[in-house]
Structure 1
Amino acid sequence: MNWYVVYTKPKWEKKVADKLNQLGIECYCPLITQVKQWSDRKKKIEVPLFNSYVFVQLADSERSSVFKVAGVVRYLFWLGKPAIVKDQEIETIKTSLKAPNISDVSVSSIQVGDKIKLESGAFSNQNAIVQEVSNNYYTLVLESLGCILKIKYK
């Protein structure tokens, strides 16, 4: 059985995970503890590591069963197919979050001004600076080659 990524309504990750467990569907919603401050107090709360994502493990033929749960929007797709997460990657997330020396974890997307290293394609091992981020493409500046690269993604 594969692990799939289910996209949920915002702030519904824990509710969806609880309901999926009640239906007997194995799921994983990685949580981290954060300190939130209000005007009158501070409180430790558990928040999802990945906003609007819950991992589910089920057979391909049973994938439609997750839509019985309120809050499930759709599956996350990669290259036109439902994204599959390897068991090893799920275990890595679990063990990393259990490590005693981790105090603060955050996940962020690529932002304008970020320096990245391209890992594949014609420009692999090149350093680039993100110049623009849109819904369909990134614009990167490759200073060592003196060019601008526009990468389209789905």
Structure 2
Amino acid sequence: MNWYVVYTKPKWEKRVSDQLLKFGVNCFCPLVNKVQQYSDRKKKVVVPLFNNYVFVQLAEKDRNLVFGSPGVIRYLFWLGKHAIVKDNEINTIKDWIAKGDKLDISVSQHKVGDTIKLNSSPFLDQNAIIKEITNKHYILVLESLGCILKIEHLA
């Protein structure tokens, strides 16, 4: 069975994952710990690694089961076909989350527009184009995955 990517309503990733598990659908919503800054305090929260995305493992004939969850909008497509994620990519993300590693990527010797190869999980060996460099973060474009990655400096 293939892993597909389901696009969800904003902030519905965890609910969709729970609902799909109740339907008997094997799904994966990668969650990470993050320190959220509020006006009066900082708080540790658990947030999805990928906003609006949940990975589901289904047989081709069972793909419509996900629409039983009111938070599911559609499947993600890549080049006109359903986006399929490989088992080893899902396992890499799971391993990275289990280790609790912080991303430590330095691009200080690079400039905007450069193409770099990421050497840290979960995006190991992915090419990225540097879109923006600030004192607080880097913005990278991962064209092969069709997403933008924001990497904040570690405190």
Residue 44 of structure 2 corresponds to: 44
Q: Aligned to 1:17, what secondary structure does the other structure show?
A: helix
Q: Distance in 2 between matches of 1:6 and 1:55?
A: 6
Which residues of structure 2 form unaligned runs of 5+?
A: 105-111, 118-127, 132-145, 147-155
Q: Measured at CA, do residues 15 and 114 of structure 1 come closer, stay the same or move farther in structure 2, by a change above 3 Å? A: farther
Residue 55 of structure 1: CA displacement? 0.1
Q: Distance in 1 between matches of 2:14 and 2:79?
A: 27
Residue 103 of structure 1 corresponds to: 102
Question: Which residue identity lines up with residue 36 of structure 1 in the other structure?
Answer: Q
- 2:29–2:53 contact (8 Å) kept in structure 1: yes
Residue 37 of structure 1: CA displacement? 1.8
Residue 130 of structure 1: CA displacement? 7.0
Residue 114 of structure 1: CA displacement? 3.6
4+ residue runs of structure 1 moved beyond 6 angstroms?
128-131
Residue 77 of structure 1 corresponds to: 77
Q: How is 1:50-89 mapped onto 2 (pairs within 5 angstroms)?
A: 50-89=50-89
Q: How is 1:1-154 mapped onto 2 (pairs within 5 angstroms)?
A: 1-100=1-100, 102-103=101-102, 113-116=112-115
Residue 141 of structure 1 corresponds to: none
User: Identity percentage over the alignment?
Assistant: 58
Q: Aligned to 1:20, what secondary structure does the other structure show?
A: helix
- 2:114–2:129 contact (8 Å) kept in structure 1: yes
- How many residues in Structure 1 have an aligned counterpart in Structure 2? 117
Q: Measured at CA, do residues 129 and 86 of structure 1 come closer, stay the same or move farther in structure 2, by a change above 3 Å? A: closer
Q: Distance in 2 between matches of 1:6 and 1:43?
A: 29
Tell me the C-alpha RMSD between the 2 structures.
Answer: 2.7
Q: Distance in 2 between matches of 1:54 and 1:18?
A: 11
Q: Measured at CA, do residues 129 and 50 of structure 1 come closer, stay the same or move farther in structure 2, by a change above 3 Å? A: closer
Deviations 1:108-133, CA, capped at 9 Å, x for gaps: xxxxx342159xxxxxxxxx9778xx
Q: Distance in 2 between matches of 1:103 and 1:91?
A: 18
Q: Distance in 2 between matches of 1:82 and 1:129?
A: 25
Q: Distance in 1 between matches of 2:34 and 2:130?
A: 29
